[in-house]
Structures are given as C-alpha cells and as structure tokens.
Chain A
Amino acid sequence: MIRFDAVSKEYPGGTVAVDELSLTAPSGTITVLVGPSGCGKTTSLRMVNRMIEPTSGTITIDDRDITSVSATELRRGIGYVIQHAGLFPHRTVVDNVATVPMLTGTGRRQARSRAVELLERVGLPAAFADRYPAQLSGGQQQRVGVARALAADPPVMLMDEPFSAVDPVVRDQLQQEFLRLQQELGKTIVFVTHDIDEAIRLGDTIAVLAVGGRLAQVATPAALLATPADPFVAGFVGRDRGYRALAFMSAEVALAAEPAVALGSPLARARDVAVDDWVLVVDENDRPQGWLHLPAHPAGGPGPAPGEVGPALLNLGGTLAPVGGTLREALDAALSSPSGRGIVVDDAGRLVGSVSAATVLDHVHDTAADTPARGGA
C-alpha cells in the first residue's frame, strides 16, 4: 500500500505542482493518476521513488516512510517504466533487463537467465535477448521496459505514460497484456496517464487530478463515470461516459437464435433462411465470416461459382460480442451490424446467437431502474 499524506510540492517562485495530496494506492491493485498537463500527476509519481522530494507531507509504502531508507535502496525496490522506455542503447536487451538484479548482487548468469524468462513473460521471444534496443520497434522496447522494471521482482511499480508513445493497435495489445500480467503478479501499481480511456480500462482505482495539483475525485471507474464529483471531472471524463459506463455492466441479455449458412452454400438456401433480406454466413467451424445482403446479389456474384455464397459477396461490417461480455460490447455489435442484429460468439469464436440494440437498451433501462446509479465517490 502506498499512502500520500498531505503531500505538497511547491517550486521556488511559487508554482504549486501538487497541493496537499492525500491518497491511498491499495496493495495488489492498479491506481491510475489521470489529469490534464500540469495537474502534477507525474510529479506525484516521482515523489514515490524520490526522484522529486516533496515540500511537505509524507509518503509511506506499507507504512514505512520512504525517507527511512536511502534513495538508492528505495529505488531498487520499485519498478519504474516511462514513456519511451529509456532503455540503455549500449546494452543488449538481456543486459538491460538484468541491470538491477546485477546491481543488487545477483550473479551474472542467474540474472541473465531470469531476464530471458521475463522477456518471454512480456511476450518477446528469447531470440531478442542479444539485440540492441535500436533494433526493436517502439512497442517491443516498451515490453523490454516492463521486463526491466519487473526484473528485481519489486512489490511496487510506478508507470509514467508507458503506452502513450506507441500506435493505437500496439497500445491496445500492450494494455491487454499488461492487465493479464498484473492478474498473475498482483503488484501495487501507480500508473500515470492523461488518457481517460486508458485510465478507465486499466485502473482499479482512478484519481483525477486538476491543474494546480488538486485531487478532484478518487473512485472506481464505474463510479467515476456514473457520478463525477464536480464539473471539472465531468468535463474531463468526457461526453460519451454514458456509453463507456456500459463497459462495466455485464450483458446478461436473452439471445435470439440466428440462422446462418456456411460459405459455399447455394444462394437459394441463403434465400430460404434470410431474415429481413440479411443472412449471416459462417465457415465450416460455425465462425461468423460476414453478412450477405440478398437484394444486392440477385444472381450471385463474380467468381468461379456464381450460384454459391462466396467470400466476395460478404459485408464485413459488424463487430462480434463475446458471450459473458459487457453491455458495451453487445451494443457495439448490434449498432455496427448491417442487419441490426449483433452477433454473439463463444470463446472459440463460434456463433451463439444475436442481440438487437433495442434488447440491449431495454436491459440498460431495467438495470438502471433496479440499482439507482449512485456509485460511491
């Protein structure tokens, strides 16, 4: 547990970066500090490993004042990941990861073999071990950065916008793997970001900071979306928070059976099962491939078999919602489907059924009636 107790940071000249921050980051969870530029989130983070010394107030880790040990010793027990990873360009990937264990006296061979294990754990093949950082992509470097922070198995991790500098697809992947890793490791993590979406996705607890280092609200993601504490938080959390909040409700809606035809079936068969002119097409393993709009292809399409349902005829619109997923996923599947019927699939990607937007919205309505949305703030 990391506890900030009335911590302030004032720079010479009177700029207040952090103003009387009192906050607890519970053990084994991810606490996200989020806010616009100049809200003191990075300053707060860096005070935990004493890269910045507070002007007043105390910070404790597991009830021990962080000033009770030397800054060097403190830092070796805290993993730190930053935006561009900050890897040592002159050291190979494995030596980068093994840095802290070797500083603290682990033998070279042992440190390196553990480093290779960690690389695999963060999703990098062992073949990368002997490369230099310049030979890696931004996302791969960031994985090495995470492995390096984990190398000494510190109970506490500080992460400063670690996924901000990579493209959206890679970021999504890194966030997903980060959550999986945290599930296995259960570190106490303080995570800084300016991106509210990232905060909501990753945080167990979210602390919203306003400019001037004022703590505006601390809440779970669902509570933050449901009941912003003040206009600043409401504005920062954003306009589509109602939609985002659906991500915290599980989609226990009744599914309709969805008739489907397999790729390669005769068009005549597709005509027989189509509902409202749309028919779902699946592969031989029952996995949805796309939608066929029959009026658009009265005589079949081009290709070797004009009378069959071929891949060229398919409309690929429509996301797939997993069984047991969230209302947001179910609604998104329904809204993005050209037929208006959102497809729900099981873990193996096989068709289970479909759901309409109206069904989802009815469910939202019922849920809201049952539990007045007043999450604790």
Chain B
Amino acid sequence: MTSAAGSAPWDLFGYFADHREQVLELLWSHTWLSVLPVVVGLLVALPIGWLARRYRWAYPPIVSVTGLLYTIPSLALFVIMPTLLGTQILDPLNVVAALTVYTVALLVRVVADGLAAVPEDVLQAATAMGLTRLQLLRMVQLPLAVPVIAAGLRVATVANVSLVAIAATIGIPQLGQLFITGFQLSVSGPYYPPIVLGIVLCVALALLLDRLIVLSARLLTPWQRVVTAR
C-alpha cells in the first residue's frame, strides 16, 4: 500500500492501479446491490400502484403509508433487517431488502400517477373495444406510463447508488468500503485517494445507470419522439 504521507489527494489513478482487483470487485457488488432492489421494488410497486389507481379510496392511504417508509433512516433499516428476515447480519440480502423498501416507497406513487396519466377517452375507447382489465393494463396503461415510471426509476436508482454506500458501516463490501479505508488511513494525516475514487466511481455508476434507463425508456416509447402535426 502506498504510504499515506506524500500522496496527492487526487492520486486516485495510482490508488486504483494498486488496488485494481479489489476496487473492481467493490464496484461490481455496488452495482448489483443498487440495481437488484430497483428491479424487485418495481415488481412490488406495480401491483400496489395499480390498486391505488384502481380504487380511488385506496390512493391516499397507500401512497402516504408507502411514502412514509422513506423516512426510516437507512442505517436503522439495515440493522433491523436481520431480525425481520432471519438473515445473518453480514448477509447482503439485508441491503437488498432495505433498498427495495425505499424503491417501493418511491415507486408506488409514480406507478399510480403514471397509470392515471392515461387520457380518459383512450381508456374509454379501449374498454369499449372489449379489452379485459389485464389487456388494458398490458396493452394500454403500462406502455403509456413508461415515461412517468422511467422518471421514477431514475430517481430510485440514483438514490440507491448513494444509499448502498452506507451499508459499508455494517460491513457489506461495496464502494462505500473505500470511504472507510480512506478514513482509517487518514489517522496520521489526510489520505484522500480511496475516498475520491469512491466518490468518482459512485457518480460514474449513477450516471451510467441513469443513461441506461433513459435509453431503454426511449426505445420503449418511439411514439414520444414523433413530430406532432397541428
């Protein structure tokens, strides 16, 4: 390991070259720890959001209760999870489950509002054409909600990338580990490279995932790009 003294705070390339394998491994686990909860969270939020849209009376309670989940401090959630799930304290599943909760908190309202954004006359025409409720959802409501849901997914994904880092404090390895390493190496004077590298990789990961969502949404919504007549 490079000695702490004499290292420029921005020498993250040097640090990366020296710890290449370890950093890449952290980056990889950071990636799936951020993405998996978004996928699971979306799958959970879809039916809940649909219910909130389907039954008007259910919207306020569902949206406020799920929204409240976001106020639970993440560290607390990471610590409680083993008790709730019966998992080991170091099981990455705890992180996945906790972040899924946050994703659901963010996405239920988004899904409900996205489904509600389908124009009334389109719904009416679709129903009158004899689409079943499931066909209506699959063929009309979901495709039309893609832009709104994608916007929500972007927020949830970026938030997760930053939230995952906190899990380093309970010992789950990911990029947050670099902050702890930097902190530990700074006892006899500041040593920034791992910290800066961690920040840079987190931001890069967030940007990349964000672009991926934007791109997929664009591929799924060709009709949004047409030049409108009139």
Partner-B contacts on A (CB < 8 A)? 49, 51, 71-76, 78, 80, 82-91, 99-100, 103, 131-132, 134-138, 145, 148, 158
Q: Which residues of B contact A84 (CB under 8 A)?
A: 121
Which of the 9-residue segments B21-29, B54-62, B130-138, B148-156 touches chain A?
A: B130-138
Give B157 Cβ to nearest chain A Cβ, in Å. 24
Instruction: Give Cα distance in the complex from A85 to B143, angstroms.
Output: 19
Q: A86-B121, A86-B122, A89-B122 are in contact. Are A76 and B226 (CB under 8 A)?
A: no
- Using CB atoms, name the residue of chain B closest to A74: B130
Q: Is the CB of A132 within 8 A of B124?
A: no
> Is the contact region of chain B dominated by helix, strand, or loop, or is it mixed?
helix
B144 and A89 contact, CB distance less than 8 A: yes
Evaluate contact between B223 and A134: CB separation under 8 angstroms. Answer: yes
Digit string of B118-132 for contact with A (CB within 8 Å is 1, else 0)?
A: 010111111111111
Q: Which residue from chain A places its CB closest to the CB of B146 in the assembled complex?
A: A90
| Contact yes or no, B128 A49, CB < 8 A | yes
Within 8 A of A (CB), among B56-75: none
| Interchain CB contact under 8 A, A80 and B129 | yes
Please name all residues of chain A whose beta carbon is closer than 8 Å to the beta carbon of B124 when the two chains form the complex.
51, 82, 86
16 A/B residue pairs, CB under 8 Å, sorted by A:
A72-B132, A75-B128, A82-B128, A85-B125, A86-B123, A86-B124, A86-B125, A86-B126, A88-B139, A88-B144, A90-B140, A90-B221, A91-B223, A99-B129, A134-B223, A137-B230
Q: Which residues of B contact A99 (CB under 8 A)?
A: 129
- Return the chain B residue nearest A102 by Cβ: B139
Not counting A86-B122, A148-B129, a sample of 10 additional A-B residue pairs whose C-beta atoms are within 8 angstroms of each other reads A75-B129, A80-B125, A80-B128, A82-B128, A85-B125, A86-B125, A90-B140, A90-B223, A99-B129, A145-B125
Cβ–Cβ contact A103 & B129, under 8 A: yes
Q: Closest approach, in angstroms, between the C-beta of B70 and any C-beta of chain A?
A: 31
Q: Which residues of A contact B135 (CB under 8 A)?
A: 103
10 closest A-B pairs by beta carbon, nearest first, are: A86-B125, A75-B130, A76-B130, A80-B128, A86-B121, A132-B223, A134-B228, A90-B223, A72-B130, A132-B226
B219 beta carbon closer than 8 Å to chain A? no
Asked if residues A73 and B130 are in contact (CB atoms below 8 Å), the reply is: yes
Task: Give the residues in chain A near B139, CB-CB below 8 Å.
Answer: 88
- Cα distance, A73 to B128, chains bound together (Å): 10
Distance, CA A84 to CA B123, complexed state (A)? 12
Write the nearest CB–CB distance from B148 to chain A, whole angstroms. 13
Given the known inter-chain contacts A132-B223, A134-B229, A135-B227, please indicate yes or no for A87 contacting B122, CB distance below 8 A. Answer: yes
Contacting pair A86 B119 (CB below 8 A) = yes
B122: chain A residues within 8 A (beta carbon): 86-89
Question: By the criterion CB–CB under 8 Å, are A82 and B226 in contact?
Answer: no
Contact in complex: B143, A90 (CB < 8 Å):
yes
Q: Mark B87-121, 1 if CB is under 8 A from A, else 0.
A: 00000000000000000000000000000000101
With contacts A88-B126, A103-B130 taken as known, whether A134 is within 8 angstroms of B143 at the C-beta atoms is no
* Complex alpha-carbon distance, A132 and B230, angstroms: 13
Do residues A87 and B125 form an inter-chain contact, with CB atoms below 8 A?
yes
- Docked CA distance A91–B140 (Å): 9
Q: How far is the CB of B223 from chain A (nearest CB, A)?
A: 4
A134 contacts B127, C-beta separation under 8 Å: no
User: What residue in chain B is nearest A141 (Cβ atoms)?
Assistant: B229
List of A residues within 8 angstroms of B119 by Cβ: 86, 89
**What chain B residues lie within 8 Å of A82 (beta carbons)?**
121, 124-125, 128
Complex formed: what's the CA distance from A89 to B222 in Å? Answer: 10
Name which of A49, A83, A88, A91 has the most chain B CB atoms within 10 A of its CB: A88
Residues of A within 8 A of B228 (CB): 134-135
Q: Using a CB-CB cutoff of 8 Å, which residues 165-179 of chain B contact chain A?
A: none
B128 x A135 contact (CB < 8 A)? no
A100 to B144, CA, bound (A): 19
**Most B C-beta atoms less than 10 A away, residue of A49, A51, A89:** A89
Tell me if A75 and B223 are in contact (CB < 8 A): no
Q: Which residues of chain A are within 8 angstroms of B223 by Cβ–Cβ distance?
A: 89-91, 132, 134
When distances are taken between beta carbons in the complex, the residues of chain B under 8 Å from A78 are 128
Chain B residue at minimal CB-CB distance from A91: B223
Task: Assess whether B144 is in contact with A90, with CB atoms less than 8 Å apart.
Answer: yes
Q: How far is the CB of B120 from chain A (nearest CB, A)?
A: 9
The residues of A that contact B221 with a CB separation of less than 8 Å are 90
Min C-beta distance of B147 to chain A, whole Å = 10
Alpha-carbon separation in the docked complex, A71 to B132 (Å): 9
Chain B residues closer than 8 Å to A145, beta-carbon distance: 125
Measured CB to CB, the closest approach of chain B to A150, in angstroms, equals 12
User: With a CB–CB cut-off of 8 A, which chain A residues contact B144?
Assistant: 88-90
Chain B: which residue is nearest A77 at the CB level? B130
Q: How many angstroms from the CA of A89 to the CA of B228 in the assembled complex?
A: 11
Residue of A nearest to B143 (CB): A90
Within 8 Å by CB of A88, from B132, B140, B227, lies: B140
A8 to B102, CA, bound (A): 50
B225 CB, nearest partner CB in chain A, Å: 9
Query: How distant is A148 from chain B, measured CB to nearest CB, in Å?
Result: 8
Cα of A82 to Cα of B122 in the assembled complex, Å: 10
Which A residue sits closest to B129, measured CB to CB?
A100
Task: Contact check, B226 vs A131: say whether CB atoms are below 8 A apart.
Answer: yes
Q: Nearest-CB distance from B160 to chain A (Å)? A: 28
CA of A132 to CA of B229, assembled, Å: 10
B125:A136 contact, CB within 8 angstroms: no
**In the complex, what residue of chain A is closest to B132 when comparing beta carbons?**
A72
**CB-based contact B129/A135 at 8 Å:** no
Given the complex of chains A and B, what is the CA–CA distance between A273 and B83 in angstroms?
Answer: 108
Measured between alpha carbons, how far is A278 from B186 in the docked complex, in Å? 106
In this complex, which of A71, A90, A136, A158 has the most chain B Cβ atoms within 10 angstroms of its Cβ?
A90
